[in-house]
Every structure is written in C-alpha cells, then in structure tokens.
Chain A
Amino acid sequence: AQRVTQPEKLLSVFKGAPVELKCNYSYSGSPELFWYVQYSRQRLQLLLRHISRESIKGFTADLNKGETSFHLKKPFAQEEDSAMYYCALKSFLNTGNQFYFGTGTSLTVIP
C-alpha cells in the first residue's frame, strides 16, 4: 500500500540555521514525489518535484530509493519559510493518478 510518512509535526529552527524536513514513503512501483508548501490559510502550492531536480527558494530534495526517503533541505532558513510543508506521492492506477499526502510538518523559523 502507498504511504507517506512525515515524522515531525512541528519543527522550529533559528533564522540562518539549516533545516531538514523528513519524508519517507512506501510504494511498490517507481515513485513520483513532490513537496508542497501551504502558507497561513492559503492554498497548497507546489514547491518542488523530484523529477525536476531543481532548487526552489533555496530548497532541495533528493530521492533516495534505498532509504525510501525524500527529505527537504535548506542550508539557511529564512523567516518567510515558516509554513506547513506536505510531502506527496503520486500513484499510478488503472483509473488514473492519485496523490497521497503525509500529515505535514509545520515549520517555524525563529528570528
């Protein structure tokens, strides 16, 4: 069964400190993984996807198939990074695609 696990509900770091938000997944096929960000009471926005191997707002995430992880990292946290972050896995079914989300990590960057 597909599953996305984000072990940290809350994470606080000081401005300028490195930040890592953890995501582990279980999926029998070849996964397609995403990170979404939700600023206070706004819609979810795509932050990055593993197939693009890009860096957005200083964030990067590497897919580690051996550890079934897709951790989100940023070397120097900024106050504007405070938000809820969701890791998501795209599952391919006969009827189409489904997206499974983790429970989210609320990041607070302390000035």
Chain B
Amino acid sequence: DAGITQSPRHKVTETGTPVTLRCHQTENHRYMYWYRQDPGHGLRLIHYSYGVKDTDKGEVSDGYSVSRSKTEDFLLTLESATSSQTSVYFCASSGVPNTEAFFGQGTRLTVV
C-alpha cells in the first residue's frame, strides 16, 4: 500500500461544531482526493487537489472545504457539522507513473 494515513480514524461530534480530517501521504503524489462513502451511493467525490494550493470541487462539496499547503497533506473541514455528514470519509492520492488511486484507511465520522 502507498503510504496514506488518515486521522482521526473515528470521531463523534455534535451538530454545529467544526471538524477537520487530515490525510497524509508519503508518496509525493500530485493528486489527492476526499470521498465520502454512503450505503447506496458508493463513493462520491467531495473535493480534490491537483497541486499545492490547487483544489477544486467535486460532486458533493456543499458544507465542506479543503486546504493543501504541502504536497503530503490534504485537510478536509466541515465548517459546521450536520447529521447528513455522518459518513465514512476516504482520502486517496495518485501520481505518476502509477495511474490508479491509492486509498487511506477511512475515517468514520458521526454527527450527533
């Protein structure tokens, strides 16, 4: 496995509180992604990054923001968590010459 780690692995938070999830990769991959995984929806892209400080929205970006200040770190922030954001969040990265996406272990977030 590529060196991709997510933290925390589990988190329970209250509605309305800010939450930041961290993704760290040691592969010097250019591209990084945040997905959420929900039953019946598969994986849906939240945001992605194509370089340091270069990010763009995915299909379900409302309520989420991201930042990438270093190649190895990609942060996902829920500004004000809602119960609909209860999900499993996966980070992924890809780069040259590998063509596939490598995934982190996932973060299980519960908003109560």
Contact = CB atoms under 8 A, between A and B. Distances in A.
Interface bin, chain B: 20 to 34
- Chain B CB count within 10 A is highest, among A9, A42, A103, for A103
A95 B50 contact: yes
Interface in A52-101: 86, 88, 90, 95-101
B12 interface: no
What is the size category of the interface that chain A forms with chain B? 20 to 34
Contacts of B84: none
B24 to A, nearest CB: 14
A90 B99 contact: yes
A42 B108 CA distance: 11
Interface of B: 1, 30-31, 33, 35, 40-45, 48, 50-51, 54, 56, 58, 90, 92, 94, 99-106
Interface of A: 6, 9, 32, 34, 36, 41-46, 49, 51, 86, 88, 90, 95-104
